[in-house]
Chain A
Amino acid sequence: MSNSPNDDVHKARSTPKPEPVSCGCSGPACCESVAESGPPVSRRTATEPIPVGTTLKLRDHLGALAARWGIGRMSFIVEPGLYAIGEPDSASPVLVSANYKLTFDRVRSQLGGRNAWLLVLDTKGINVWCAAGKGTFGTDELVHRLQITALADRVEHRRLIVPQLGATGVCAHEVRQRSGFKVYFGPVCARDLPLFIDSDLKCTPEMRRVRFPVRERVVLIPIEIVGGLRIMILAALALVVLAGLGRDGYSLTRVWGTGLRSALLLIATFLTGASLVPLLLPWLPGRAFAVKGAWTGAFAAAAVGWLAYSQPGLLGSPVMAVAWLLFIPTAMSFTGMNYTGASTYTSLSGVIKEMKVAVPLQIGFAGAAALLWLAGLFTT
């Protein structure tokens, strides 16, 4: 067993995980890996527990809000190690969590008035579910963290409360073999923790289910938007510049007319898709997310089409209007498909299946729409 706190977390989880394609993602924003760019963690004596409160301050709430918009997420990391909530003793429960600050805050804020140990694993600032999928919230890191915090010397019992969503990375029987601690998988939601602790570490079936209520769907909208924004702005700028082209040479009038309107419509399409698909998810027709997105786009295209019909020339030439009617459902289908990563019930096999059909169609339709739009410039 290694003694360095950082070198084991990159190891694969103990059970082979074939084709690890991704983990609970939502959007490309996630790719700026927190792993290597996090702030240096101060060197504390590993075994000294860190006292921590249970009330969230304004700063915690503001930080959470910023993180939801993708701002400052790189510093949203808690130091891994053992934390003391209240005045825990050798009989106090031990809860295991991730070192993503949102997760950490959620857990500690549920433990007001209690004495407990909070064992924070080094998940590189990623929440439990995502980290478990990657294996950073896993058996190796848990066993390792138990050793360097010498938890076995602080508590008499051998019970660990691990969030149920961590089960994707934590193998309970292996933890027991290697550390002597028995893993009790706790509830999915931190808010059920007090009840779980008070009812002898038992969950109701309800506490074990993962759902995807509107509140959680909405909270993930900003990060989807931030994730796609850069490419959207680039594409919008490209439209503005290209719109000047035409049979009569380059026209600035068209840049400010067709170009600007096209750019706005593109951004509007993106924003509408990224917010409506998550909001309306359960009610949109179809099971596949690409289909749900395409339906959203079909309704949006109908609205845009009606506008263009009542105000001819709004979308440029008729050819361009057709381009938009093709493009809007295609773009929203893509946005919908990308939302699979944020959802809590899509399987890898299912996503692969829908992508095999959807992606070629999306490329075809988007290509056709782009050609028509360009053709429209030369037919006015």
Chain B
Amino acid sequence: MRYLDDVVTLRLDAAKCNGCRMCLTVCPHNVFRMEDKRAVLQTRDACMECGACMLNCAAGALTVRSGVGCASGIINGILRGTDACCDNTSSGCC
């Protein structure tokens, strides 16, 4: 299953990457691959903007506007003027 193309805000600054592989570990959608001891984006459009890679890249090579793609959350946020909400039964996986 793939979502929309060319929308995500993920950026990788190859010059800052130290090759620690952390982004490969945390990414749930296999967005990264190693090439010449540096991370490269192999499936950028598969990114769901969860922000895990940015948070865990100690070198600061990754940026992404993180948030969860949830229409009702966005609507609720707009209606209430607050952050949107979370459902505690949607478990993702396990």
Do A and B assemble together?
yes
Q: Which residues of A contact B (CB under 8 A)?
A: 13, 15, 17-31, 33-34, 67-68, 70, 73, 76, 100, 102-103, 106, 125-134, 164-165, 167-173, 185, 188-191, 203, 205, 208-212, 216, 219-220, 223, 227, 281-282, 287-289, 337-338, 340-355
Q: Which residues of B contact A203 (CB under 8 A)?
A: 25
**8 A Cβ contacts from B46-94 to A:** 46-52, 54-56, 58, 65-74, 76-77, 83-94
Name the distance in Å between A254's Cβ and chain B's nearest Cβ.
33
Name the distance in Å between A219's Cβ and chain B's nearest Cβ.
8
Decide: A68 and B89 in contact? CB cutoff 8 A: yes
The A interface, classified by DSSP as helix, strand, loop or mixed, is helix
Decide: A25 and B4 in contact? CB cutoff 8 A: no
Decide: A209 and B28 in contact? CB cutoff 8 A: yes
Decide: B69 and A23 in contact? CB cutoff 8 A: no
The answer to whether the Cβ of B17 comes within 8 Å of any Cβ in the partner chain is no
Q: Which residues of B contact A21 (CB under 8 A)?
A: 67-68, 70, 73-74, 77, 83-84
Residue of B nearest to A123 (CB): B88
Cα–Cα distance between A205 and B86 once the two chains are bound (Å):
28
Cα–Cα distance between A220 and B91 once the two chains are bound (Å):
9
Q: Which residues of B contact A205 (CB under 8 A)?
A: 30
* Contact A210 to B88, CB < 8 A, known contacts A168-B50, A287-B4, A345-B1: no
Decide: B94 and A190 in contact? CB cutoff 8 A: yes
Decide: B73 and A350 in contact? CB cutoff 8 A: no
Decide: A24 and B72 in contact? CB cutoff 8 A: no
Residue of B nearest to A192 (CB): B94
Cα–Cα distance between A22 and B87 once the two chains are bound (Å):
10
